[in-house]
Structure 1
Amino acid sequence: MKTHFIAIGGSAMHNLAIALKDKGYQVTGSDDAIFEPSKSRLEKKGILPMEMGWFPEKITSDIDAVILGMHAHQDNPELARAKELGLKIYSYPEFLYEQSKNKTRVVIAGSHGKTTITSMILHVLNFHQKDVDFMVGAQLEGFDCMVKLTQDNDFMVLEGDEYLSSPIDLRSKFLLYQPNIALMSGIAWDHINVFKTFDDYIEQFRKFVASITAGGVLVYNEEDPEVVKVVENAENYFRKIPYKTPEYEINNGKVYLKTEMGDVPLSVFGAYNLLNLEGARHICLQLGIMDEDFYEAIMSFKGASKRLEKVEREDKGTLYKDFAHAPSKVKAAVKAFVEQFKNEKKYGFLELHTYSSLNPAFLEQYDHAMDGLDEAVVFYSEDALKIKRMEPISPEFIKEKFKNENLRVFTNAEDLHAYWNTLDKTNGVYLMMSSGNFGGLDLTK
């Protein structure tokens, strides 16, 4: 099968391209910019474009599938040529469905926790050498690629994202998967540039639940009232399995899960990670993994990439980085950090740089998000606001919305880096929350 990727360099897109190459497909692609690690990984597989840019002449009538990434625009010249030739154009999730429509599809959805839960499930399955196809949004220990596609596997585990599918397909990605088994971890308003109201956002999850195949299964977080409302109001037929935070305790900085089989030591911490773990356990039961085998495997799970991930520092200081930037994720990460390190001085840094996080109307969602930290810092770039054509935001406004008078606010990277350099990283513990890089801050030094 001959496939061509428009915007091959994206995090998700390049992994799918590699998976198809490994499956024996003929793969080509284009992009106007490709960064690491995508660049090296594509080059290793021999599918890195020779030069950057869009080249309509690459689009030929013998291409079986054109896969369109969100990075491309509606007026992309390669897309125009593909339409002109009448080629089949797929979004990323649409193509994944085509690859898995004859398999049992397991879809993990939610505003937060979906990457970690998917990662936990795959870790357990991998530990017990149970082979499945998958797509996950983080690099996992023991896995070479974030996407795996085979002819033979019976199951496909998919991280279900509610964001848009492609520039020409404005459906939420997870609406294309039609799950046989689904999980919903939580609902907290996000992506306000696309979903203008909270009800618009919730509607995507209503549609997701409605897309579960007849007689399917939904595992859901019964501690989230919005999730419960969506599940209770669903009109289609499926089996409902609720889950909640399991019992646990912390002894000498180590988290132990309380089970009928005794205390299970874990390598992750935080109540929300224990909640994620419980959701993963219920999904694994559906896949034939009994509790005893689940607990045996989960003891060695160290976390998904950039989810409370410990950074190895030259000075041996204790520092964790987290992808958290949406309010619910920030609050959960801070709560976990404060609970885990009760006796340490706790520093928390948050970078605001997404469209949602810099929207004045949305900033109210961050109220008390940094409470419990001894030193709390928020960084956002005034230049980023200009690039996004957004109105200036004052540090005082940020403090007001976070409801934290002691908050330190930095609006340019130089000042942030200067403050960072005054801190003794071997004294206290540090939590760095961002989907960016704090203006180029090196967290290892």
Structure 2
Amino acid sequence: MKKYHFIAIGGAVMHNLALALVQKGYQVSGSDDEIYEPSRTRLEKAGILPPAYGWFPEKITSDLDGIILGMHARIDNPELIRAQELGVQVYSFPEFIYNQSQNKKRVVIAGSHGKTSITSMILHVLKDQNVDFDYLVGAQIEGFDLMVRLSDAPVIVIEGDEYLTSPIDRTPKFFHYKHDIALVSGIAWDHFNVFPDFEDYKAQFSKFMDQTLKTGELIYCDADELVKEAAEKSLTGGKKTPYHAHPAEIKDGITYLQTDLGLLEIGIFGEHNLQNLQGAMEVCRALGVSTSEFYRSIPSFKGAAKRQEILATGKSGILFRDFAHAPSKLKATVNAVKNQFPERKLVAVQELHTYSSLNKDFLPNYANSMDATDVAVVYLNPHAVALKKLELMDEATLREGFKRPDLMLFTESQALKEYLLTQNYTKTNLLLMSSGNYDNLDLEPLKAKFNSNEA
């Protein structure tokens, strides 16, 4: 029986990989200094929840087949040091995925935005078409128990992150998957704390494209000028396939694809999602799924978690939640909701939560990103700013950065909740955007306000 130990097992993707290995029949252990829900309950149910928080070098023994090192761990982690002393193989997450999939056709979905949605669409269609495949995706998807599957399937579809691999490997994760098929959806500056130079950030995607084998395929969004430029200059000898948004039209708040067979109703919307859908279609074609088969499967796709997720619906208003936090994601989401429901007022709330978004030097990248919303609100927690050792920005600074003179700022979760609950949502959509949770803001009263037809 293979034996693996996870350092920082509580992460969203890390604990999913741990559970996937348990399903595969491997012996799994792990450690972490904090584990939140739902990771905690899921690990406990599988019998691999660490009995205590912290790092325990005695857990690292020479009979382990490997250590899987999470990005959350520090380079001086006691368990990591012990593993290095014993000569136990240390894998980063992406290195381990590659190790388990060397004999598969590897599809990697990359981009500053859209990669989770595209990966989710591909997974949905392949499953609906009864294709056997493995996967790694960065969000929980309806119909899939885990975010990771490793089996004997001949194909694996991977959401490829450009963020750093591990504490001991400061290169982007997506370099390690050694793809056969690559898709790049968009390039927009993100991870300001890791890539302070935009030219360096763009260069990572160029290197990734160049890795495409002569026998492989590079699928890219030519509606994104930076992606188009990089792809056209790429040194890869593989096939290059450009794509842009699938033709569609909106009727009464519903999006329909324009196809040779007529209009086809889908459950997602927005120009960016129509680009995502077309990219997913190109990948599915490369894997042998026909256009007609794709059209049969995609209408039942409802989206990935926290991607234009509908939390509640009233008579004339919808409460949305979205993961958007980077400028490009924020702008795309705001525009999508407004274009889908142009007759409705749009109230948008953006939590500045990441290092990049809380950094005053990065703030100008948010200029005009909330122009399409009728009411623009920003929430930030002074404690989160202090933890990141950054300067707390005031309302005037944020208004100038967003180029939004009427922007409202809240720095207390309770005050934001009171404000939102006092608003009238008749013919109004409320869009909550964050990679965080507004400091555990209770959304149930807001859901109740919409569900009770007050909206």
TM over 0.5: yes
- Answering whether residue 37 of structure 2 is matched by residue 36 of structure 1, we say yes
For 1:233, the equivalent position in structure 2 comes to 233
Question: Equivalents in 2 of 1:318, 1:233: separation in Å?
Answer: 43
CA distance in 2, matches of 1:443, 1:245: 33
Pairs within 5 Å for 1:18-37: 18-37=19-38
Q: Which residue in 1 is equivalent to 2:126?
A: 125
| Partner Cα separation in structure 2 for residue 51 and residue 312 of structure 1 | 38
Give the equivalent residue in structure 2 for 1:275. Answer: 275
8 Å contact 2:181–2:216 — kept in the other structure?
yes
CA contact (8 A) 1:313 1:444 kept: no
2:15 is matched with which residue? Answer: 14
Partner of 2:335: 335
Deviates more, 1:408-417 or 1:77-86: 408-417
Distance 2:145 2:26 in 1: 18
Question: Is contact 1:318-1:426 (8 Å) kept?
Answer: no
Partners of 2:201 and 2:383 lie apart in 1 by: 29
Aligned equivalents of 1:438, 1:236: Cα separation in 2: 43
Alignment of 1:8-407 (within 5 A): 8-150=9-151, 152-312=152-312, 318-407=318-407
Cα 1:419–1:359 change in 2 (3 A) is same
- 8 Å CA contact 2:316, 2:427 repeated in 1: no
Separation of aligned partners in 2, 1:100 and 1:315: 49
1:434 pairs with 2:431: no
Query: Does structure 1 retain, via aligned residues, the 8 Å contact 2:108–2:159?
Result: yes
Q: For residue 72 of structure 1, what is the amino acid of its counterpart? A: A
CA–CA distance in 1 between the matches of 2:52 and 2:399? 46
Q: What amino acid does structure 1 have at the position aligned with 2:35?
A: I
- d(CA) in 2 for partners of 1:321, 1:290: 33
Structure 1 gap segments, 5+ residues each = none
TM-score, length basis structure 1? 0.98
Counterpart CA distance in 1 for 2:37 and 2:392 is 32
Aligned equivalents of 2:316 and 2:34: distance in 1? 35
Q: Measure, in 1, the Cα distance between the counterparts of 2:315 and 2:14.
A: 36
Q: How many residues align?
A: 444
How far has the Cα of 1:160 moved from its partner? 0.4
Distance (whole Å) between structure 2 residues aligned to residue 431 and residue 287 of structure 1 = 36
CA shift, 1:316, in A, is 9.6
Percentage of matched positions with identical amino acids: 53
Report the Cα offset of residue 426 of structure 1. 5.4
| Alpha-carbon distance between aligned partners in 2 of 1:93 and 1:316, rounded to the nearest angstrom | 45
SS at match of 1:97: helix
8 Å contact 1:314–1:444 — kept in the other structure?
no
Deviation of residue 374 (structure 1)? 1.5
CA distance in 1, matches of 2:130, 2:47: 29
Q: Deviations over 1:9-39 (max 9, x none)?
A: 0001000001111111110101111110111
Question: Secondary structure, in 3 states, of the residue corresponding to 1:272?
Answer: helix
Residue identity in the other structure for 2:378: V
Judge conservation of contact 2:184–2:227 (CA < 8 Å) in 1: yes
Superposed CA deviations along residues 346-397 of structure 1, whole A, max 9, x for unmatched, are 1100000110001111111111111121111011122221121112211100
Deviation at 1:427, TM superposition (A): 5.2
What is the rounded CA distance, in whole Å, between the counterparts of 1:201 and 1:391 in structure 2? 24
CA–CA distance in 2 between the matches of 1:345 and 1:190? 29
Cα deviation 1:145-183 (Å, max 9, x = unaligned): 000001x21100000000001011111000001100110
In the TM superposition, residue 436 of structure 1 has moved relative to its aligned partner by 0.7
Deviates more, 1:231-240 or 1:78-87: 231-240
Q: Aligned residue for 1:408? A: 408
User: Equivalent residue for 1:3?
Assistant: 4
**Aligned residues of 1:70 and 1:166 also touching (Cα < 8 A):** yes
Structure 1 residue matching 2:444: 3-state secondary structure: coil
Q: Is the 8 A contact 1:312 1:444 kept in 2?
A: no
- Find the aligned partners of 2:42 and 2:316 in 1 and give their Cα distance: 30
RMSD of Structure 2 on Structure 1 (CA) = 1.3
CA displacement, residues 94-120 of structure 1 (integer Å, 9 cap, x when unaligned):
000001111100000000000000000
What whole-Å deviation, never above 9, does each CA across 1:319-340 have from its counterpart, x for those lacking one?
1100000000000000101101
Which secondary structure does the structure 1 equivalent of 2:227 belong to?
helix
Q: Distance in 2 between matches of 1:43 and 1:214?
A: 45
1:284 offset after TM fit, Å? 0.3
- Residues 267 and 302 in structure 2, CA contact (< 8 A), matched pair in contact too: yes
CA distance in 2, matches of 1:277, 1:417: 35
Tell me the SS of whatever aligns to 1:311: strand
Q: Once structures 1 and 2 are overlaid, which stretch shifts more, 231-240 or 185-194? A: 231-240
SS at match of 1:95: helix
Separation of aligned partners in 1, 2:42 and 2:426: 35
- Alpha-carbon distance in structure 2 between the residues aligned to 1:183 and 1:371: 30
Amino acid paired to 2:340: Q
Which range moved further: 348-357 or 423-432?
423-432
CA deviation string 1:378-425 (max 9, x = no partner):
111222211211122111000001111111111222322221221234
Question: Structure 2 stretches of 5 or more lacking a match?
Answer: 446-455
3-state DSSP of counterpart to 1:356 = helix
Equivalent-residue separation in structure 1 for 2:92 and 2:426 (angstroms):
47
Deviation at 1:443, TM superposition (A): 2.3
CA distance in 2, matches of 1:424, 1:50: 48
State whether residues 370 and 376 of structure 1, in contact with CA within 8 Å, keep that contact through their aligned partners in structure 2: yes
SS of structure 2 residue aligned to 1:115:
helix
Rounded to whole Å, the distance in 2 between the matches of 1:11 and 1:354 is 17
